[in-house]
Amino acid sequence: ETGVTQTPRHLVMGMTNKKSLKCEQHLGHNAMYWYKQSAKKPLELMFVYSLEERVENNSVPSRFSPECPNSSHLFLHLHTLQPEDSALYLCASSLDVQGTQPQHFGDGTRLSIL
Amino acid sequence: SQQGEEDPQALSIQEGENATMNCSYKTSINNLQWYRQNSGRGLVHLILIRSNEREKHSGRLRVTLDTSKKSSSLLITASRAADTASYFCATALSGSARQLTFGSGTQLTVLP
């Protein structure tokens, strides 16, 4: 039990589908993150939220749309994805966004785009 | 180019041996963190070392930081098969520590 739960664990979707990834943390953390992990590449930070406010958006295509309704939940809405978007999507949380605290990760959603 | 890069990319050792992984980075940091990732799982935080620290220990793990050389090492002593995983270093930059920048990782295999 990592304290950060991601659902679903696996997702297969066509390029025209719309789906959402969900992340939930019960650690009392104020910061939440979405990362993309592709084979043989470093983790790519996609979005950062601090107290439900987006504070970073690292040039992510608009087909990825994050939502943070409260400090415990984070969503990543997906639409018209491309085959190169197939990857492991990891959610993480930390006490704050200052980078001075460890991040706690979920086990990810393995996304496959057909 | 990447802020943090691990070396070697892959390491295979026998159970009981020590494993050493290195991380180099390019710009001044606030802290450096090491994470482990087992296959099919998320990353697990191991150790955080701040820029004013030189060495930290946690159980069988020993991390060193040399800010003059912009490098860090992770030593796992008396390795076990369960230590088989990918190990990543992540740096939080000075002055703008909002994000961690991860390296590509070292794949460690401990043979029984």
Give the nearest chain A residue to B31 (CA atoms): A100
**Greatest pairwise CA separation for chain B in angstroms:** 44
Query: Strands B10-14, B71-76: parallel, antiparallel or unpaired by DSSP?
Result: unpaired
Cβ distance of B98 and A98 shorter than 8 Å:
yes
Across the interface, whether the CB atoms of B99 and A43 are under 8 A apart is answered: no
Q: Report the residue of chain B nearest A103, measured CA to CA.
A: B45
pLDDT of residue B31: 94
Q: Closest Cα partner for B52 from B30, B69, B33, B34?
A: B30
Q: How far is B42 from chain A (nearest CA, A)?
A: 4
Residues 6+ apart with CB under 8 A from B76: B18, B19, B20, B60, B61, B83, B108
The predicted structure's pLDDT at residue B47? 98
One-letter amino acid at B53 equals: E
HEC letters along A69-82 = EECCEEEEEEECCC
The Cα angle at residue A35 between residues A44 and A111, in degrees rounded to 5: 105
Interface of A with B in 32-91 (CB under 8 A): 40-43, 45, 48, 55-56, 58, 90
Q: Which residue of B has its CA nearest to A88?
A: B40
In B, which residues are within 8 Å of A105 by CB distance? Answer: 35, 42-44
Query: Do residue A42 and residue B103 have CB atoms under 8 angstroms apart?
Result: yes
Reading the block at residue A4, the tokens are 């950060």
Cβ-nearest to B31 among A40, A97, A100: A100
Chain B hits for A104, Cβ within 8 Å: 45
3-state secondary structure labels for all residues of chain B: CCCEEEECCEEEEECCCCEEEEEEECCCEEEEEEEEECCCCCEEEEEEEECCCCEEEECCEEEEEECCCCEEEEEECCCCHHHCEEEEEEEEECCCCCCEEECCCEEEEEEC
> Which pLDDT tens digit goes with each residue over B24-83?
999 899 999 999 999 989 999 999 999 999 999 999 999 999 999 999 999 999 999 999
| Cross-chain Cβ contact A42/B31 below 8 Å | no
pLDDT one-digit tens code per residue, A52-111: 888 877 789 999 999 999 999 999 999 999 999 999 999 999 998 888 899 999 999 999
Banded pLDDT at A26 (limits 50, 70, 90): very high
**CA atoms lying within 13 Å on the CB side of residue B59:** 6
> Is the pLDDT reported for residue B3 higher than 50?
yes
Q: Which residues contact B110 (CB under 8 A, 6 or more apart)?
A: B13, B14, B15, B19, B79, B80, B81, B82, B83, B84
